[in-house]
Structure 1
């Protein structure tokens, strides 16, 4: 009887928990595939999309969160305007074309500038390694080294998770999700997501991001 009462009380607390509104910025270089990533998330959520308030925004209901995704232009001339959105953001999604090796250094510098900004430092980051089905695509475990992610995470105290976005890579079976936490926590821990398809893998990454946002 006690266990039944405890279960009912936990259920009542869950349904009475208020909806939390969060804003997430979707950034990355131009042609990285930000729009397709947002469409993947909408597809995985089914009918949980909400009416958009402004152009470039997507509103979603994810568990107990009302999420506003703000898709910012990734062109070089547009990136300077990103900083005006940083203070209102609870976290970031950085979309990376993992097959564009020629621009990987550019992506690293952009990511470093974003994470080191005082209005971003400490906020969680979901890095979406897009276009994993391309032959030249770097795997998430390779991107950690190429982007100096572990150093960036520790310097800026920003928890980070890398998720394979798009179709699976034809190369070696690197875990589709890698989580990096600032020291003194575990510096790098890998966790394999259930094989439920690319859209659901992206959605799982989004749920991690929402859970990581400080209350």
Structure 2
């Protein structure tokens, strides 16, 4: 599991390594390093269950991770409103960093089967935050972790429908063998049930625990069984 976490971290850091100015890049790298890599590791873990391999899938996992990092930072800024009583320049830099994280995450998933699910997660986040403010309902904050779990599971499971796809296909924007955009896949009821269970024990508004805690033996056993049952071939 440490190997998967390291792979996700490397891929996520590499995605923002060309960002200028240096201060923004440093902020992005710090946010990547400070947030649990559980979403990205779950993506790889699910891919291994569904296809038996995670080869070449680090960028997909990093895409899930970056979207979560960016939305989590956005939620934090919405709660704290640092423009009110803090350094406005730092606050502006942080909101820019959040936007870049989400955008780079989208880039990595843009032409994969999980792209539409990623869009749905971001749209839902915006709606939940609007409702939270209007209804003063802080419980809506936790929906982000649930939705990201769904995205991780869907992204990992989607590799079963992408045989022959390579990193070049993800970067180049085509689905291997067809020359067209990848077909979208949605969240199956089975995967949604898994996300519900995982969110109940592992995800809250403080974020996810470390991957080795998140994917405990009991959780991984349940996930393996549930994903197998949700598979079209089961």
Higher helix share: 2
Tell me the TM-score normalised to structure 1 length: 0.30
- TM-score where L is the length of structure 2: 0.28
Structure number with the bigger relative contact order (C-alpha 8 A, sep ≥ 6) is 2
